[in-house]
A and B are shown apart, each in its own frame.
Chain A
Amino acid sequence: MNSDLVISAVNLGKRYKRYDSRITRLADWLTGGRICRYTEEWALRGLNFQLRRGESLGVVGQNGAGKSTLLKMLSGTVRPTEGTVAVNGRIAAILELGMGFHPDYSGYQNAIMACQLQGWASDEIEQLIPQIEAFAELQGYMGQPVRTYSSGMQMRLAFSVVTAKRPNVLIVDEALSVGDLYFSHKCVSRIRDFKQEGTTLLFVSHDPGAVKTLCDRALLIDKGVLLRDDTPDAVLDYYNAMIAKREADAEIRQVETTHGHRETRSGNRRASIEDVESLDSRGHESRSFRVGEMATLRIAVAVHDVLEDLTVGILLRDRLGNDVFGTNSYHVTEEINAVEPGRHIFEFDLGLELGYGSYSVTVALHKREHHLEENYDWWDSALVFQVFPGSEKTFVGTAALQVAFRKVTTHG
């Protein structure tokens, strides 16, 4: 390994096995895995990154994204299922809160124990303890059992112990958010000092400000996948957009489930629409899209008869019920579909060059180019999705036209 490289993660992945019950685990073990009744859950997969000496990396992502799993693997507490982590130097980590303090032991005893766990010699620990005590500022509480501590006090002790000696890599998992403002500042300045002396920092936080000020690089992890590895500004912008999108998505779903579809169905039912989904460009189901984003409408159709001609049509309407855009498979492909009975899936790819707001999708199955000839099924407002601002310039209206502006001449 290059001496400047401190951490190198290659194709890192962590899988947890989830058994339905303890009995199924027992059965699995006793039969030597012949009855494999567990589901695999990848907390993190296919992660690659490298960290150099003195770099500081922020890790952002929503709860359950796999951030903590990543830090646990880096610190060696949890073993990766696949891939490798190579670490050059001593790692100190504050994982989650409290770092495994024993509730009945005093602050002193826990501090000593934590030092011993780092493998430090006893005379060295003796020298470090007063320093730890001074930094934690737990006057009068060091002799008390840790169970009487508040979470902020536990964090102060944990941070003081872990940073008693400068590590090569410091991992801090959401710990700073617990302490009061004064202590956070103290921690940050200690982290800065370490950084100056060449410590590499790995920092998980939900506080974008802390990531921006402390880190010079950031990773965005979502659902166990590394989405972005960039400057903190770029990553946080992307992250915020992602959250906004997800919130909008949840809102629409909630409206859908609480009000139900106020749907109108008609047609002779020789074929019927089973399900309509909207997917984003990564193939994930989504109900909210950014202006200009590519969306896929997936329409599941059950055909009950042999049909020599099946046309699938869609119609987008705005929130006031005005038609915005409509087309059908015959117009798009100029082909006639003959279908056998059974379940068929059709997809429309749409570039959503639309204004902000919500839109409904009406889906129709009919013969030839319009539904007047023979209408199989018609589902009004089968789905509602939302378009929200992306990176484009502000505009109003329902159409997102390509626009440019220039000044050509000036007459005096």
Chain B
Amino acid sequence: MLNVILRYRGFILGMVNREVRGRYSGSVFGSAWAILNPLAMIAVYTLVFSQVMQARLPDIDDSLAYGIFLCTGIFAWTLFAETLTRTVTIFVDNANLIKKSNFPRIVLPLIVSLTSLVNYAIIMGLFGLFLVITGRMPGWSVLAFIPLLAIQIMFAAGLGIFLGVLNVFFRDVQQVTSIVVQFWFWLTPIVYPVVILPEYAVSLLTTFNPMAEIMLAYQDIVLRGEWPVWSLFLDQALLAGASVVIGWWSFRKLVWEMVDEL
């Protein structure tokens, strides 16, 4: 696997580069949009919600807190949803390439994960800048993002590969995925803080939605500068590992049948 990545690093990096820029190809400002778009999002979430709509978090006395809360959650969720949904369709979308070129097809989901991560890095860089400017940058606890992101990406990529392989044979999978992801978004504390929920709802969420605990951790890091309680993430880490194994196993088992089917 490492061998493959090393040998095809040119292709992988080239594809990521083209994917990130490709979104804005054909526009006059080109890559500038990669910065202008997230900036607009940050402005909307912070200014509109905090200043215009006067949305407040019940437990933090800060006019910008809700905007920051929203940004943290939505950006992380976008990374998750983008990785998952795009991995699900990656084999179908690249049918042409898969049928006509001989290359290790496993690099395709890798490209998706890396692309989503780069997009996330761009937006978080700008968001970080915003936090510094408004004087709300948390301390070293931001480093805790790294293991959490790793868990999240492994989970999304593994699950995505498994569903992506199935999607080649049953295109219903991508439809179901996009619906499930929408419900999943609202079942994850991103737009609403958990403190407004009754006790039993919170425990339901944190028990059955692996993304809920991760999302709470991001928000605590950014808003309160708190380090996550790592013991809470053992389940998530195991789940991420398992989903990678399942994804890899299903890919290995069905890759050639997939080529025949496309």
Contact = CB atoms under 8 A, between A and B. Distances in A.
A406 interface: no
A51 B15 CA distance: 36
Contacts of A112: 14
Contacts of B25: 104
B101 A100 contact: yes
Nearest to A122: B10
A256 B109 CA distance: 56
A98 B101 CA distance: 11
A110 to B, nearest CB: 10
A321 interface: no
A77 B14 contact: no
Interface string B103-114: 100000000000
A257 B174 CA distance: 47
Interface string A89-130: 001010110111110110001001110110111100100000
Given A77-B101, A78-B260, A125-B10, A113 B18 contact: yes
A121 B18 CA distance: 17
Contact of A105 (B8, B22, B99, B259): B22
A116 B11 contact: yes
Interface string B10-31: 1100110010001001000000
A4 B112 CA distance: 42
Contacts of B134: none
Contacts of A113: 11, 14-15, 18
A102 B21 CA distance: 14
Given A116-B14, A119-B7, A95 B100 contact: yes
A53 interface: no
A75 B14 contact: no
A96 B101 CA distance: 11
Contacts of A22: 169-170
Interface in A7-28: 16-17, 22, 25-26
A191 to B, nearest CB: 20
B169 A25 contact: yes
B100 A119 contact: no
Interface in B96-127: 96-103
Chain A, interface residues (CB within 8 Å), range: 20 to 34
A79 interface: yes
Contacts of A17: 257, 260
Contacts of A121: 10
Nearest to A114: B101
Contacts of A390: none
A76 interface: yes
Contacts of A99: 100-101
B102 A120 contact: no
A290 to B, nearest CB: 38
A100 to B, nearest CB: 4
A117 B101 contact: yes
B8 A119 contact: yes
Contacts of B14: 112-113, 116
A37 to B, nearest CB: 14
- Most chain B CB within a 10 A radius of its CB, from A78, A91, A101, A117: A117
Interface in B212-262: 256-257, 259-260
10 contacts: A16-B260, A77-B99, A91-B102, A99-B100, A100-B101, A104-B22, A113-B15, A119-B7, A119-B10, A120-B10
Given A95-B99, A100-B96, A101-B96, 10 more contacts: A22-B170, A26-B170, A75-B102, A77-B101, A96-B100, A112-B14, A113-B14, A116-B8, A116-B15, A119-B8
Going nearest first, the 8 A-B pairs with the smallest beta carbon separation are: A116-B11, A100-B97, A100-B100, A76-B102, A116-B10, A79-B256, A100-B96, A77-B102
Interface of B: 7-8, 10-11, 14-15, 18, 22, 25, 96-103, 169-170, 256-257, 259-260
